[in-house]
Structure 1
Amino acid sequence: MASATLLIESATRPDRDRAIDALRAIAILGVVLGHWLVTALVFGHGAVFGASPLRFLPQFTPISWLFQTLAVFFLVGGQVAAISRSRQIPYSGWVLARFRRLFRPVAVVVAVWATVAGFSIAAGVDPASVRTLVSLVLSPMWFLLVFVALTAATPLIGRLHPAIPLAVVATVDLLRLGLGAPAWVGWVNLLAGWMVPFVLGAAWAQGRWDDRVSLWSLLLGGLAATVALVWWAGYPAAMVGVPGAGFSNLAPPSLAAVTFGLAQCGAAGLLRDPLRRLMRRPALWAGVVVANLSAMTIFLWHQTAMITGTVLVWLAAGPRPGLHTVPESTAWVVARLGWLPLFALILTLCCLAVDRVRSSRS
């Protein structure tokens, strides 16, 4: 282990900004833990359905503030894409390489779950239950389509001011929530909402919007705007979707989700110098490098790991709190925390298996 850590340290370029990698690792960790904590699979009456503790325990809403880190992911993505695009590489080759890096792993997950779904239905499993499980795995992948679209548009996005997509989000919310426009209008925000942190990341790559005054303005201004939208404009306090709730800040992204994302971007910028100092420690840096190398695998397979653990325990020991029961009590939350190491172990095995397959093909 020590030799591997030293090898990673010696192989790292001296000019590499380790804070970018650390922020990406934090964003991935936030998404994974967020899904594992607020997604429940309830087993009962021969079926499986999804639920969320936030519906029954609103006092745990701050969990969604900590672990909804998509804005940081898009921020880092915008910065990395802008830096990469600044190199003298033909656009077509650059964009195709990035697309292949994203979609090849996705194809594997889709193929695996198509097979699992087919065998499950053929074996007599309730189709609605299969649909619940498949949707848990595939639904987070929506963001990859948005990420690809924004990445492809990096040469144009790098010239935008973040206020432009922010204004689009505000206008769309006014139309759909205040003036009675059709609900489908809101899906314009799927691209415009996540374009805001992506544009900020591209601006950082160009040395703009990254001074401390700007970062504190993003943090405090984003927080103030979010509080105002939740307190006076009726936006939900939860920054993730809650099954059964009438309105979600994420489907599609609302103005509150975007302003909260701006606050996260400001916080991320302010954390860069402390993270750079921390990443000088070889052991911490090695962990971040491993997480970044497996980032796509972790994202694509973390829900599969949760589902696998949940089903295996059900088959071996029957229903257990924190895994198969309705998430309506604090006891469920405590029990859920105890199951997280199991999910992490299965996810680690998934990453090792994917890495083995990738190595055998190369």
Structure 2
Amino acid sequence: MPEPTTRAPFLRGIRQAAGRVDAATPASRDRAVDALRAFAILGVVLGHWLVTALVVDDGTLHTASPLQHMPWLAPVSWVFQTLAVFFLVGGHVATQGYASARSRGTSYGAWLRGRLSRLFRPVAAVLTLWTVVATALLVSGVPYDTVHTLVKLALSPMWFLLVFAALTAATPLVGRLNPLWPLAVVLHVDILRFGLGVAPSWLGWVNLAAGWLVPYTLGAAWTRGELEGRRAGWVLLLGGAAATAALVAWAGYPASMVGVPGTAVSNLDPPTLAAVTFGLAQCGLALLLRDRLRGALRRPLAWAAVALVNLSAMTIYLWHQTAMMATTATALPAGRLPGLHTLPDDLGWVASRLTWLPVFALALAVCWTAFRCYEQPRGRRSHVVRSHRPSPGRAVVAKRHV
């Protein structure tokens, strides 16, 4: 039987590569942090692929969501809306990194430039490509509405980067802020907006900073050792889940934790109190899973997969919408394909969309191959693993998440 013989060297090569990644990882690195970041990024990617549809209508493309037509699918958004976990990890890593930089005598400006360059370097490639694509589409006569839809979808992930960059820059100021303070701001803004109905429309955007500051400052509290043990995780999980359920059941907040076209209120645009309490529940669950993740990631194969996602986290995040749109566009000559170009109004669309996910992943892999160099320039040392193999018998030098 030749197949096992052919497969064995391939599997052995994967295990050997995973072993090298495992051996090159500093012993002090908290692998659970990287796992939570990877889950957060992949959750957003899969969520967008599942709830965003590009529908062909009268020669133009426009976005639609299965949550519009099947609101009972709202629990799907509870699984894949994972931004709070990303801000939790971001606050933890930034606070830890800033403290480490200060201990080495690194200035605030140098530390901030280093963090933001890693964050925004991949953005330049996305903006350049889509400027060229949008210009070419308009010149070739593609309807403006279609171009606007595509560009908006491609660039929509960047809103989060601006908020994250602002919070990163404010780390020295907010690193010791109690999360209850930004939570109180969100509560009062929502009382004015929805309870009393006296707030101007712009006031809700205060929550864009205050809402994501809650998990970010929780991450800083994690760095200070204030969230150790399982009690904090259970309080956040149960308290956040109960508060979210009450807000949805009795206060009129939407059940979906992502935006749904055509609805009067979105839990994310800007963040509402329900989105923030839901994020607290997610952060609690993340804290409870830390020990299990650390144990699971002692296995080289599991750690290598997590490390690979972390090395390309921004590339994956910034290009996943482009991968979906590229698949949709290249398949247009084949006609209106179910789950790709059709209205997401029944379970048949959902079943068809699931079959397209591997194709989206393949398209994203192509984007990753082409553009990952902007996130990890050649010759630049990795912040996840070492760039060289440690010498046999030599202890791995400790390295924190900086």
TM-score normalised by the chain length of structure 2: 0.88
Match of 1:146 in 2: 163
**Amino acid of the residue matched to residue 58 of structure 1?**
P
Please state whether the residue corresponding to 1:280 is helix, strand or coil. Answer: coil
* Structure exhibiting the larger radius of gyration computed from Cα positions: 2
Equivalent of 2:249 in 214, 224, 231: 231
The alignment partner of 1:244 has SS state of coil
Identity between Structure 1 and Structure 2 (%): 60
Give the Cα–Cα distance (whole angstroms) in 2 for the partners of residues 278 and 360 of structure 1. Answer: 30
Deviations 1:144-203, CA, capped at 9 Å, x for gaps: 011001111111111111000000000111111122211110000000000000000011
1:272 pairs with one of 260, 277, 290: 290
Q: Which of residues 26, 30, 36 is equivalent to 1:17?
A: 30
The residue type paired with residue 69 of structure 1 is T
3-state secondary structure, aligned to 1:220:
helix
Task: Name 1:167's counterpart in structure 2.
Answer: 184
| TM-score, scaled relative to structure 1 | 0.98
Deviations 1:302-359 (A, max 9, x none): 00000001111113x1110000000000000000000000000010111111135665
Large movers: runs of 4+ above 6 Å: none
Deviation, 1:95, is 0.3
Alpha-carbon distance, 1:102 to partner: 1.4
What are the superposed Cα offsets for residues 12-52 of structure 1, whole Å, 9 maximum, x if unpaired? 11111000000000000100000000000001211000000
The answer on whether the counterparts of 2:125 and 2:371 sit within 8 Å (CA) in structure 1 is no
Q: Which has a greater percent of helix? A: 1
Where does residue 333 of structure 1 map in the other structure?
350
**Gaps in structure 1 of 5+ consecutive residues:** none
Q: Which aligned pairs between 1:298-317 and structure 2 lie closer than 5 A?
A: 298-315=316-333, 317=334
Q: CA deviation at 1:265?
A: 0.3
Q: Which residue of 2 aligns with 1:212?
A: 230
- Confirm or deny that 1:70 pairs with 2:88: no
Native 8 Å contact 2:182 2:211 kept in 1: yes
Give the Å deviation of 1:212: 1.2
Structure 2: gaps of 5 or more residues: 1-13, 381-402
Aligned residues: 361
> Which residue is 2:399 aligned to?
none
The DSSP-based 3-state class of the residue aligned with 2:54 is strand
Measured after TM superposition, the shift of residue 210 of structure 1 is 3.0
Partners in 1 of 2:125 and 2:373 — Cα distance? 14
CA distance, structure 2, for counterparts of residue 191 and residue 323 of structure 1: 35
Shift of residue 361 of structure 1? Answer: 9.0
Instruction: Quote the Cα distance in structure 2 between the aligned partners of 1:111 and 1:241.
Output: 27
Find the counterpart in structure 2 of residue 56 from structure 1: 69
The DSSP-based 3-state class of the residue aligned with 1:86 is helix
For residue 38 of structure 1, the aligned residue among 47, 51, 55 is: 51
